[in-house]
């Protein structure tokens, strides 16, 4: 029996209802092929690369607090859709276009219900960020398609995996902002340009046959034939979505236009090259037409707010600093290690640009021509946005000020590295294996650094928790400047009154005095500051409080400064215990040579010796004491507050502050009968062993000591 007979089995009798058309495979074989195709697709590397990209972006998604910009995303997304569209198109109240806010509005409303976008808490933060994580993971699809067309299947897989695990892209995929979604949209548009530019992308192009959609082991929409209208739709929809999400996406429009022109030039003698060129040109022209209203508004706004500089001034040094960040994110490596990584990366990138960049002599299909000239396409991707950005420095000197501004260049670096590593693999397998191991090894080692305390985003979640833990029921909270208060309000659930009086730039103390004099009626005021340098460059607000009131405590979560001031530290009686922390001593008054300790409160009752959030590297224990003078003192007394082990060894001591209550109001001035509140921060030795320690209050004379309570130090 022949091989074909063995495969097909007995053929149905001609003329029977089940007989297939002459030359057509039977239905059973078509079903087997379809099942085999689905099984092969289930094991296709692209599927697992996409899963890896999504897993990396969903991992520790709420490790960082929403920072101010992300909270503003929730602020706009909570508005009605019509208002988002109207304000976003004008670019007057927010400098970003409306599409991302509209998507976030729809996403949170659909999955969380009305109000979920502005609700505080881990589940709400997860919902807000999950949209960007999902869209960011989908970026591997167009990257894979672009990589396969510009370097071959191996280059596409390597590039897709690099983009999936790139720490910089993972970081911005986990941020509730428009930068990574706009990048995915723009990549879709660039992929559509290449799909329009290669033969076989439409009926009438005979230079390449269409793939067998039944038996193909790869998804046809990624590598195979794409109808010309669909490819054009990808161009128009992808670029328009990118532009209406993030204005800097416009830097890729000249890239796409030059790609269309270069693809036509390389294939100008082939059949259908002219038709493909005009389809690409028409698609981009439609994108430009749709972008005109937004571009006019953007140009007007940038002209009124921008600070002019000089074209290309400082650009190359900025790019050299950006390169390692784009490749590895923010790992805690030495400068020499980062420079070494950047140097090796430059070699790989150079190889990716020059490998097979010139077509061999003789006839070649359009696909091979694009692949061999892939280095040229990717060089255009890098060069044109940087050239445009360098020229725009003359209008706005902040063009390269933030790493995220040119995020759309990072996938280009991944594609170039993919071409370079694929070329190295083809040249010599051992060298290619070493190159792949080095590149992915560095990437995997650098990736976890984005979830470390040193790289925390602006930490409003812990800032609110800090104030909530330390503030009493009759305290007030003041946030400076006023526009950052939504970030604090998102996480703060305390009953304390909140104030945001400072909107304009502060030039003198008179402006501060008029706004703050009424706060003296509160027991304490907690000043929360972030992004205040532009509006209060002399820090007049903190100076005003510091000159009048003793400092209670201070903490410095990432990007935020918190200081508490005791506005009523001299009182007629000991106030009731607020309920936070522990209180002591409990065995009656304790005298210290004319001073009597009435009560001491402390928190927390358990803490780690090291602290990476509020005042690294040491843990701090906050102690509030209440004293009264039992006799007039001739010399000032300064009690000590220490953390002692069983042998009396000191493991924590109070921080000396010039603006503590006992320095502002020395004990020789205390009035008989008045109660004075004195706050201390006890700074632990960061190597304090785990165990239970005694919190001791000691006087100036030996033997004057009492225990305020016990504190547990955790590992």
Q: What is the pLDDT of residues 547-575, one digit of tens each?
A: 999 999 999 999 999 999 999 999 999 98
* pLDDT for residue 518: 87
Mean pLDDT, residues 404-411 taken together: 97
Give the closest residue to 408 by CA, choosing from 242, 284, 289. Answer: 242
Summarised one tens digit per residue, pLDDT across range 331-365 is 999 999 999 999 999 999 999 999 864 444 444 45
Please answer whether residues 84 and 76 qualify as being in contact, where contact means their C-beta atoms are separated by less than 8 angstroms. Answer: yes
Which residues sit opposite 654 in a β-bridge?
682
* pLDDT for residue 12: 38
Least confident of 133-142, 196-205, 468-477, 576-585: 196-205
Q: What is the mean pLDDT of the chain?
A: 88
Please answer whether residues 44 and 218 qualify as being in contact, where contact means their C-beta atoms are separated by less than 8 angstroms. Answer: yes
The DSSP code for 489 is H
Please answer whether residues 136 and 175 qualify as being in contact, where contact means their C-beta atoms are separated by less than 8 angstroms. Answer: no
Least confident of 365-374, 579-588, 600-609, 618-627: 579-588
Give the closest residue to 117 by CA, choosing from 134, 135, 97, 131. Answer: 131
Mean pLDDT, residues 639-664 taken together: 94
pLDDT band at 136 (very low <50, low <70, confident <90, very high): very high
Give the three-class secondary structure for 59.
coil
pLDDT band at 32 (very low <50, low <70, confident <90, very high): low
Least confident of 197-201, 416-420, 551-555: 197-201
pLDDT band at 372 (very low <50, low <70, confident <90, very high): confident
| 503 pLDDT above the threshold of 70 | yes
The dotted CATH code for 575-714 is: 2.60.40.770
* pLDDT for residue 213: 34
Give phi and psi for 202, each to the nearest 5: -160, 155
Number of other CB atoms surrounding residue 167 within 10 Å: 25
Mean pLDDT, residues 478-490 taken together: 96
| 201 pLDDT above the threshold of 80 | no
The contacts of residue 323 (CB under 8 Å, 6+ apart) are 342, 345, 346
* pLDDT for residue 200: 62
Number of H helices, E strands in the chain: 26, 16
The contacts of residue 168 (CB under 8 Å, 6+ apart) are 325, 326, 327, 328, 329, 403, 407, 410
Number of other CB atoms surrounding residue 715 within 10 Å: 8
**Omega before residue 481 within 30° of 0, cis:** yes
* pLDDT for residue 40: 57
Least confident of 52-56, 294-298, 551-555: 294-298
* pLDDT for residue 705: 86
Whole-angstrom distance, CA of residue 382 vs CA of residue 347: 16
* pLDDT for residue 272: 87
pLDDT band at 591 (very low <50, low <70, confident <90, very high): confident
């Amino acid at each position: 029996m022949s091989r074909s007979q063995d495969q097909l089995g007995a053929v149905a009798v001609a003329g029977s209802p089940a007989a297939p058309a002459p030359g057509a495979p039977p239905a059973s074989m078509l079903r087997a092929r379809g099942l085999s195709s689905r099984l092969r697709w289930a094991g296709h590397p692209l599927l697992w690369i996409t899963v890896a990209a999504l897993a990396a972006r969903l991992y520790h998604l709420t490790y960082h607090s929403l920072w101010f910009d992300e909270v503003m995303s929730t602020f706009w997304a909570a508005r009605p859709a019509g208002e988002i569209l109207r304000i976003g198109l004008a670019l007057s109240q927010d400098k970003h276009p409306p599409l991302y806010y509209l998507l976030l509005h729809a996403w949170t409303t659909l999955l969380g219900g009305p109000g979920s976008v502005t609700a505080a808490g881990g589940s709400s933060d997860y919902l807000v960020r999950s949209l960007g994580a999902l869209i960011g993971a989908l970026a591997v699809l167009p990257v894979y398609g672009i990589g396969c067309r510009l370097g071959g299947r191996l280059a596409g897989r390597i590039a897709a995996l690099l983009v999936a695990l790139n720490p910089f892209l993972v970081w911005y995929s986990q941020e509730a902002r428009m930068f990574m979604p706009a990048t995915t949209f723009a990549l879709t548009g660039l992929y559509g340009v290449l799909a329009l530019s290669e033969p076989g992308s439409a009926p009438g192009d005979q230079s390449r046959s269409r793939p067998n959609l039944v038996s193909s082991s790869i998804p046809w929409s990624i590598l195979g034939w794409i109808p010309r209208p669909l490819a054009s739709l990808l161009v128009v929809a992808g670029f328009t979505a990118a532009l209406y999400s993030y204005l800097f996406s416009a830097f890729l429009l000249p890239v796409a236009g030059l790609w269309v022109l270069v693809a036509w030039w390389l294939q100008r003698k082939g059949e259908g090259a002219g038709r493909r060129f005009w389809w690409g040109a028409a698609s981009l022209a439609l994108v430009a037409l749709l972008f005109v209203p937004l571009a006019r508004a953007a140009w007007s706004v940038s002209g009124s707010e921008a600070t002019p500089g000089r074209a290309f001034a400082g650009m190359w040094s900025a790019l050299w600093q950006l390169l390692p960040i784009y490749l590895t994110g923010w790992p805690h490596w030495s400068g020499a290690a980062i420079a070494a990584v950047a140097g090796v990366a430059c070699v790989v990138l150079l190889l990716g640009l020059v490998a097979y960049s010139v077509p061999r002599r003789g006839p070649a299909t359009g696909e091979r021509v694009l692949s061999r000239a892939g280095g040229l396409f990717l060089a255009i991707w890098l060069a044109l946005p940087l050239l445009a950005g360098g020229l725009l420095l003359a209008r706005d000197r902040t063009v390269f000020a933030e790493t995220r501004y040119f995020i759309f260049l990072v996938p280009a670096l991944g594609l170039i590295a993919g071409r370079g590593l694929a070329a190295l693999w083809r040249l010599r397998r051992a060298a290619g294996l070493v190159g792949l191991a080095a590149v992915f090894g560095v990437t995997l080692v650098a990736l976890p650094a984005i979830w470390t305390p040193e790289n925390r985003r602006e930490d409003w979640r812990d800032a609110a928790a800090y104030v909530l833990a330390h503030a009493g029921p009759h305290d007030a909270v003041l946030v400076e400047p006023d526009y950052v208060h939504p970030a604090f309000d998102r996480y703060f659930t305390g009953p304390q009154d909140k104030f945001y009086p400072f909107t304009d730039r502060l030039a003198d103390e008179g402006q501060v005095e008029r706004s703050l004099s009424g706060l003296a009626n509160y027991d304490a005021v907690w000043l929360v500051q972030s992004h205040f340098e532009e509006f209060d460059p002399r820090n007049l607000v903190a100076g005003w409080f510091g000159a009048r009131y003793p400092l209670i405590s201070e903490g410095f979560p990432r990007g935020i400064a918190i200081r508490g001031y005791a506005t009523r530290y001299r009182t007629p009686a000991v106030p009731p215990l607020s309920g936070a922390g522990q209180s002591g001593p409990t065995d009656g008054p304790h005298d210290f040579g004319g001073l009597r300790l009435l009560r001491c409160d402390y928190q927390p009752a358990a803490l780690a010796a090291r602290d990476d959030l509020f005042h690294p590297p040491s843990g701090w224990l906050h102690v509030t004491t209440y004293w009264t003078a039992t006799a007039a003192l001739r010399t000032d007394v300064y009690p000590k507050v220490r953390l002692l082990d069983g042998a009396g060894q000191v493991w924590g001591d109070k921080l000396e502050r010039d603006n503590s209550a006992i320095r502002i109001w020395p004990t020789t001035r205390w009035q008989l009968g008045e109660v004075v509140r004195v706050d201390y921060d006890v700074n632990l030795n960061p190597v304090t062993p785990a165990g239970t320690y005694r919190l001791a209050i000691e006087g100036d004379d030996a033997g004057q000591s009492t225990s305020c309570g016990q504190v547990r130090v955790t590992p």
